[in-house]
Structure 1
Amino acid sequence: MKVDKVGRDFLIREEGVVLKAYKCAAGVWTIGAGSTGRHVKPGVKITMQQAEALLTHDLKRFEEAVATLVTVELTQNQTNALVSLAFNIGINGFAKSSLLREINAGNKDDVERITECFCMWRNAGGKPILLKRRQRESALFYK
């Protein structure tokens, strides 16, 4: 399943859109709506159209990863929430997460445990600055 408009808008709100390259809280060069990689270097500037195109391109990788790694059926909002998380923590982080293990074990209806697993990923740059985002992702998961 792919991220829908609700999921895309959610991710854009969470990531924000910055049209000039900057270092995120984790010290990674970032541009647009959370795009990272070799194309992001100090001084790089893009347009809003380019930011949208980068997001579309980047999302494909994370949608495919969630679709491949999750072995149970998901609702649209569950897909949106998990892609948002994977987008932020990376595919490897998501693949090794207790959240993925719990979901694949059939425990996705255990609201308390799943929310706890989302919230384990609250730190960036060694600081707990992502807790509110994780709570919003968890709420989206259960919407």
Structure 2
Amino acid sequence: MNLNERGIQVMHEFEGIKLEAYLCPAKVPTIGWGNTRYEDGTPVKMGESISRQRADELFKNIASTFARGVDNLVTANLNDNQFSALVCFAYNVGIGNLKRSTLLRKVNANPEDPGIRGEFMRWNKAGGRELAGLTRRRKAEADLYFTPSLG
């Protein structure tokens, strides 16, 4: 499966774009569309900068890596909005956290389980603090997940 345009829009809305490295709320150096690493795994370092074109390229490459990771973890049949919502989630919290999550277990057991919305909403903290931006993001991801697919 592939990340759809709606998923990309959610990711771009919540990640924003910054061409100069900055510390995200979890205090990790980040650049571009919320990237903490480059394609080769090298971590972003404070003081680095990239062009808009490079930010878009980095996003596309890293997002496709997350899409492959989600595809490998999900055993249930999903529509493109469900899949894209999970890619958006994993892009933010990491594949390892998705792999260990109750969210993934519920998706694989029954992708239509209404309790999945609550599992998205549990992931709204950074550094132990609840963040309004993460709460809004999880709601947007859950809304995308429960939006019927057009194709």
What is the aligned partner in structure 1 of residue 124 from structure 2?
122
2:109 aligned to which of 105, 108, 117: 105
User: 1:12-51 alignment to 2 at 5 Å?
Assistant: 12-37=12-37, 38-51=42-55
1:79 aligned to which of 78, 83, 96: 83
Q: Deviations over 1:26-50 (max 9, x none)?
A: 0111000011122511111111101
Q: Deviations over 1:87-115 (max 9, x none)?
A: 00001000000000001112x2222x111
User: 1:47-58 alignment to 2 at 5 Å?
Assistant: 47-58=51-62
Q: Deviations over 1:3-32 (max 9, x none)?
A: 122211221111111110001000111000
Stretches of 4+ aligned residues off by more than 3 angstroms:
none
CA positional deviation for 1:126: 1.6
- Rounded to whole Å, the distance in 2 between the matches of 1:120 and 1:61 is 24
Structure 1 residues without counterparts, runs of 5 or longer? none
Matched, 1:64 2:64: no
- How many corresponding residue pairs? 141
TM-score by length of 1: 0.95
8 Å Cα contact 2:75/2:108 also seen in 1: yes
- Rounded to whole Å, the distance in 1 between the matches of 2:66 and 2:78 is 15
Letter of the 1:55 partner, please give it: F
Identity of aligned residues (%): 39
CA positional deviation for 1:139: 0.4
Structure 2 residues without counterparts, runs of 5 or longer? none
What is the aligned partner in structure 2 of residue 6 from structure 1?
6
C-alpha RMSD of the superposition = 1.0
1:19 counterpart SS class: strand
TM-score by length of 2: 0.90
1:31 counterpart SS class: strand
